[in-house]
Amino acid sequence: MNPEIISFVKDHFTELSEPSLQEGIASAGVIREFKEGEVIMNFGSFVKGVPLVVKGSIKVVREDEEDNREVLLYFLKAGETCSMSFSCCMMEKRSDIRTTAEDDSKIIIIPIKYANDWMSTYPSWRNFVMRSYDSRMQELVKTLDSIAFKKMDERLWDYLMKRSKAHNAKSIHSTHQEIANDLNASREAISRLLKQLEKKGSIALERNKIVLL
């Protein structure tokens, strides 16, 4: 049993309060660390465990099978899990998402056998998983609404707010092309809109860096 994992659970997943569940996570879980920009799970891979984020932030994107374009779904931060990973585990199917460490990150991987068994054993684990599904569903609905109803300048501002919140920082380290990829837009359009935000005094542009003012 890993005492470090129990400490992480108590600090970041306070709702998982049963001592026996915490001990189970500490016994079954494995700590993995990822450097900024490192791919954690790629498209088409089999998902063998449920991630619990304890440090850093994780970007989750989906790929369009027809033209290989990507769209940002949501960000994960400490205290959260990826419900889509859980679904892939339960259904034993290949991943249709890619997760990437936005900055140096640390996660606890729970093997699917335990994650599944705990659904019927621990009410707090079941509630945690269901709340995670609900939270991610709301994020996806917001993403769909943004694509369908919002102009690109509004989508860009929402995106900057989400990244700032995910990193808990006012500075966003990213190129214009990376932002364009996340928003399924052209780099030229993103650069133009960022310049407009800078003129309004909303942001300051630096080399591969955006500072929210």
Q: Is 165 a domain residue? A: yes
Q: Is there a single domain that holds both residue 95 and residue 63?
A: yes
Are 12 and 48 found together in one domain? yes
In a domain, 123, yes or no: yes
145 inside domain: no
Last residue of a domain, which of 138, 166, 185? Answer: 138
Structural contact between residues 124 and 22, judged by C-beta atoms closer than 8 angstroms: no
Do 16 and 98 belong together in one domain? yes
pLDDT tens-digit map of 144-186: 777 777 788 988 999 999 888 888 889 988 899 999 988 888 8
Instruction: Spell out a b/e string for 62-98, using b for 16 or more CB atoms within 10 Å of the CB, else e.
Output: bbeeeeeebebbbbbbbebbbbbbbbbbeeeeebebb
Give the domain CATH number at 128.
Answer: 2.60.120.10
Helix (H, G, I), strand (E, B) or coil at 17: coil
Boundary-marking domain end, from 138, 164, 187: 138
Q: Identify the three-state secondary structure at position 25.
A: helix
Q: What is the pLDDT of residue 68?
A: 65
Tell me if the pTM is above 0.85: no
Task: Tell me the per-residue pLDDT of 89-124, one tens digit each, with 9 for 90 and over.
Answer: 777 777 888 899 998 999 999 998 898 899 899 999
pLDDT tens digit sequence for 41-97: 888 888 888 899 999 999 998 876 666 677 888 899 999 998 888 777 777 777 888
Question: Angle at the Cα of 144 (from 143 to 149), degrees rounded to 5?
Answer: 105
Flag whether 46 is in a domain.
yes
> Which residue, of 138, 160, 184, is where some domain finishes?
138
Of 141, 15, 163, 183, nearest to 76 by C-alpha is: 163
Band (198; pLDDT cuts 50, 70, 90): very high
pLDDT at 11: 92
Whether 155 contacts 146, CB under 8 Å: yes
Same domain membership, residue 11 and residue 64: yes
117 in the same domain as 15 = yes
Q: Do 127 and 154 share a domain, yes or no?
A: no
Residue 177 CA neighbour count, 13 Å, CB half: 0
User: Are 46 and 96 members of one domain?
Assistant: yes
Q: Which domain holds residue 202?
A: 150-212
Structural domain count, the chain: 2
The tokens describing 100, both together, are: 């990437």
Of 103, 82, 213, the residue nearest 166 (C-alpha): 103
CATH number at 180 reads 1.10.10.10
Q: Which residues of 142-160 are buried (b: 16+ CB within 10 A; e: fewer)?
A: ebeebeeeeeeeebbbebb
Instruction: For residues 17 and 91, state if they share a domain.
Output: yes
